[in-house]
Amino acid sequence: MSNQEILDKLRDTIVTQNINGCKEAAQEALAAGMSPVEAIDKGLAVGMRIIGDKFEAAEIYLPQIMMSAKAMNNAMEVLKPELEKVQVGEGTGTAITFVQEGDIHDIGHRLVSTMLGANGFQIIDLGVDVANEKIIDEVKKNKGKKLILAGSALMTTSMMSQKDTIVALKEEGLRDDVKVMFGGAPVSQAWIDEIGADATAENAAEAAKVALDLMRK
Ligand code: HCB
């Protein structure tokens, strides 16, 4: 099977909620010598985007999305150990990762946390549905370190809290102590500029590159 066929298979197992098939396809991708990052970005994540579009068009409902998410998690069980082997740096900095308050979408967040960890960041994972107070507390606790916030928001509603995060950092006099990278499907560069964050990234691999760049500034 060609690499493109394996990528199509990864995509299709997500779209058809084929929980076992997805794990198998992930194993096939690794056996074919594909990088886990490629399998995720060009296979699994493409499937998740199709699922999102189908949900928006009312062609599928929440239970199907949950099954697709389960399929994705199954494939990630295979790919994550490989991702973690791609150690390229050490002592790069500390990344506080989280999903904004009111939002429980954690697939992208976990991918970003894994990729940052694999690139030498010490990870403080605050999890999902995280209030800004908790984020600010964590920044205070880690003040003095080379620090980056890597926050996710998958809904337009939770994305609004990113603005509040920046405002809260400024109010506490902490804005210059930490770099801020926000991501998630609704987040655009225009939004990042509007709220005064430092950067965004399209996917987990890019997030690692962007975070490393920010640490050098
Ligand atoms: Co959910 N959902 N959902 N959902 N969901 C979305 C997000 C919609 C866009 C679907 C749609 O309408 N088209 C929509 C939001 C609409 C909006 O606000 N504009 C939506 C909705 C409405 C909802 C509910 C409200 C539905 C309901 O209950 N009626 C509900 C909300 C629950 C809540 O959070 N309070 C809900 C629930 C669910 C689940 C539970 C069924 C499931 C989540 C399971 C889980 O995460 N454990 C789910 C899913 C899976 C999705 C979609 C289909 C896929 C999300 C996903 O995992 N993508 C999503 C559709 C979409 O996003 N287009 C849909 C794959 C990952 C790999 O991509 O974008 O998360 P990612 O992350 C990337 C990238 O953005 C970047 O790197 C990541 C890795 O490559 N990145 C960062 C992410 N974070 C970063 C941080 C950085 O610093 C840098 C880069």
Dihedrals phi, psi of 178, to nearest 5 degrees? -150, 140
Please tell me the CATH superfamily of domain 93-215, with its number. Answer: Cobalamin-binding domain (3.40.50.280)
Q: Are 17 and 68 in contact (CB under 8 A)?
A: yes
CATH 1.10.1240.10 range(s) for the chain read: 3-85
Whether the pLDDT of residue 86 is over 70: the answer is no
| Cβ neighbour number for residue 214 with a 10 Å cutoff | 18
| Percent of the chain topping pLDDT 90 | 88
pLDDT tens for 131-168 read 999 999 999 999 999 999 999 999 999 999 999 999 99
Confidence at residue 159, expressed as pLDDT on a 0 to 100 scale = 98
User: Apex CA 170: angle with CA 165 and CA 173, to 5°?
Assistant: 125
What DSSP string describes 33-44?
Answer: T--HHHHIIIII
Atom of ligand 1 nearest to the CA of 184: 75
Fold of domain 3-85: 1.10.1240
pTM here is: 0.93
Whole-angstrom Cα distance, residue 185 to residue 63?
Answer: 21
Residue 105 Cα to ligand 1 midpoint, Å, equals 5
Whether the pLDDT of residue 110 is over 80: the answer is yes
CATH 3.40.50.280 range(s) for the chain read: 93-215
Atom of ligand 1 nearest to the CA of 154: 7
Look at ligand 1, atom 58, and give the residue with the nearest C-alpha.
48
Pocket of ligand 1 (CB under 6 A): 45, 48-49, 51-52, 55-56, 62, 65-66, 69, 102-109, 111-112, 150-152, 154-157, 181-186, 201, 203-204, 207
